[in-house]
Structures are given as structure tokens and as C-alpha cells.
Amino acid sequence: VQLGKAYQTAGVLFEVLCAVNKTEKGEEVAPE
């Protein structure tokens, strides 16, 4: 369970990083 939670957290952080990266490039980020 601990490993699964860590994996899920990493996935969320990855999504955030991608969103920030797109924002810095001036692209439109659609809110979910």
C-alpha cells in the first residue's frame, strides 16, 4: 500500500510539472 501511494504521489507531481512546463511555454492549460 505504501509503495502504491508513493507511485500515485509521483504521478501527481509529474502531472503538475507538465502543467507548469506548458504554462512557462505560454501554452493554454485546460483545467480539469
Residue 29's pLDDT is what?
A: 59
**DSSP secondary structure string for all residues of 2-31:** HHHHHHHHHHHHHHHHHHHHHHHTT-----
Residue 5's pLDDT is what?
A: 94
pTM over 0.75: no
**Tell me: the pLDDT tens digits for 1-32?**
789 999 999 999 999 999 998 887 766 656 66
Burial of 19 (0-12, 13-18, 19+ CB in 10 A): middle
Angle formed at CA 2 by CA 17 and CA 14, multiple of 5 degrees: 10
Tallying the residues shown for the chain, one arrives at 32
